[in-house]
Amino acid sequence: MLLLLLGIIVLHVTVLVLLFVSTIVSQWLVNGEHAADLWQNCTSGASFHCLASSSNEWLQAVQAMMILSVIFSVLSLFLFFCQLFTLTKGGRFYITGVFQILAGLCVMSGAAIFTVRHTDWHQASENTSYGFAYILAWLAFPLALASGIIYVILRKRE
Amino acid sequence: MSPRATRRLLLAAGLLAALGVSPVSPIHVYTPREVYGTVGSRVTLSCSFWSSEWISEDISITWHFQAEGSRDSISIFHYAKGQPYIDDVGTFKERMEWAGNPRRRDGSIVIHSLEPSDNGTFTCDVKNPPDIVGKSSQVTLYVLEKVPTRYGVVLGSVIGGVLLLVAVLVALVYVTRYCWRRRQAVLQRRLR
């Protein structure tokens, strides 16, 4: 049983780390030397300098969704430890699972909005490709969903 | 007449002359320096003045408009002999409204349904006979396309709204469960 507990916590922490990295790191769109991100656009040519991103409403919505997903995941971890000690035997970790599922939905909607609307604030040229932070965001979505569902199905033992 | 009496008479005459011919100060006109408005909204161009004379019936208030980039200043409003005359043939036709009160030293006008072509300088000129010397005052109108929202309004409102919604739902669920459990306990006690 301890192994199960450890596995669940490792999965949750992995989701949390993925969410943090994809929110903070500046690699959502890569174009040669340019890297566009949620928060700033960086150029690493002869000199390395960064400018703040545009204040487009859709970009702000993506930022809001990513921040919300991080908040929900952190809350979910905190509530998991609370429920671990206060739940009755046989009870389910409903609220932990609900918050983790919410985090997954938020990161999915954020990444989806970004995919559809990124041309609003960033002119797409030929060799613009998605950076690794964008891929991590899409990876975090199924993991968060799976983690949340495991919490909802799991029953507290011993 | 004795020299002392002559001196006293001259002094009295001098005083009377000083009182009679009081120095007339020019009329002062005040307007804000810049006014901002968005396309389609209304804006008030306020003009207030100060005159050392009583407000007479012959007071006249005039507004001129000089469009941005143009050198002509056209007259758009005139108030004389207690009657306001609003532009009814020019660019401000049916868009201007007299909102002033000369008795209260206010010569403001209101412009409705702002258009981008309203960008320019408005001049307010007040003449209150016999107080007619004075500078007119200018106000520049800037018409903006739409109100630019500050960065962070959408971000903050989305985060705040979703967190509030989730908090309300969670509270609702817990309250419902608590009430349901209390009812179960009461029912069980009654059955026993």
Q: Which pLDDT belongs to residue B170? A: 92
Residue B169 inside a domain? The answer is yes
Residue B122 inside a domain? The answer is yes
Q: Which pLDDT belongs to residue A105? A: 95
Q: Parse chain A into domains and list their residue ranges.
A: 1-28+55-156
Residues B80, B153, single domain; the answer is: no
Residue B81 inside a domain? The answer is yes
The band of B14, judged by pLDDT with boundaries at 50, 70 and 90, is confident
Please state, in angstroms and rounded to a whole number, the distance separating the CA atoms of residues A48 and A35.
11
Range in A26-35, B99-108, B163-172 the model is least confident about:
A26-35
At residue B188, φ and ψ (nearest 5 deg) are: -65, -40
The two beta strands, B43-45 and B109-111, are antiparallel
Residue B10 inside a domain? The answer is no
**Do the chains contact at B163 and A68, CB–CB below 8 Å?**
yes
Average pLDDT over residues B131-146: 87
Q: Which stretches in chain A have pLDDT values below 70?
A: 124, 158
What's the CATH code, domain A1-28+55-156?
Answer: 1.20.140.150
Q: Which pLDDT belongs to residue A103? A: 94
Q: Which pLDDT belongs to residue B13? A: 73
Nearest CA in chain B to A71: B163
ipTM for the assembly: 0.82
Residue B18 has pLDDT above 70, yes or no: no
At residue B119, φ and ψ (nearest 5 deg) are: -60, 130
Angle at B173 between CA B172 and CA B174, to 5 degrees: 95
Q: Which pLDDT belongs to residue A141? A: 95
pLDDT in tens, A63-89: 999 999 999 999 999 999 999 888 888
Can you give the pTM of this predicted structure?
Answer: 0.60
Among B32, B26, B49, smallest CA distance to B130 is for B26
Looking at CA atoms only, how far is residue B179 from chain A in angstroms? 18
Residue A109 CA, chain-centre distance (Å), reads: 10
Domains identified in chain B, total number: 2
Between B14 and B137, residue with greater pLDDT: B137
Residues B129, B174, single domain; the answer is: no
Interface probe for A, chosen from B154, B169, B177, B181 (most Cβ of A below 10 Å), is B154
Among A137, A139, A143, smallest CA distance to A68 is for A137
Q: Which pLDDT belongs to residue A156? A: 80
Paired with B34 in beta bridges are B140
Q: Which pLDDT belongs to residue B110? A: 92
Residue B116 inside a domain? The answer is yes
Residues B170, B109, single domain; the answer is: no
Average pLDDT over residues B139-162: 85
Average pLDDT over residues B60-72: 91
**Do the chains contact at A60 and B152, CB–CB below 8 Å?**
yes
Residue B162 inside a domain? The answer is yes
**Which residues of B touch chain A, with CB atoms under 8 Å apart?**
149-155, 158-159, 162-163, 166, 170
Residues B172, B189, single domain; the answer is: yes
Strands (DSSP E) found in B5-108: 28-30, 34-38, 43-45, 48-50, 60-67, 74-80, 83-86, 96-98
Mean pLDDT, rounded, of chain B: 87
**Do the chains contact at B154 and A64, CB–CB below 8 Å?**
yes
Q: Residue B116: is the preceding peptide bond cis (ω within 30°)? A: no
Q: Which pLDDT belongs to residue A72? A: 95
**CATH code, B71:** 2.60.40.10
**Do the chains contact at A61 and B162, CB–CB below 8 Å?**
no
Domain finish residue from B127, B144, B161: B144
Whether B116 and B143 have beta carbons less than 8 Å apart is answered as yes
Coil, strand or helix at B162 = helix
The band of B19, judged by pLDDT with boundaries at 50, 70 and 90, is low
In which domain, by residue range, is B128 found? Answer: 25-144
**Do the chains contact at A61 and B163, CB–CB below 8 Å?**
no
Whether B154 and A57 have beta carbons less than 8 Å apart is answered as yes
Percentage of chain B beyond pLDDT 70 is: 94
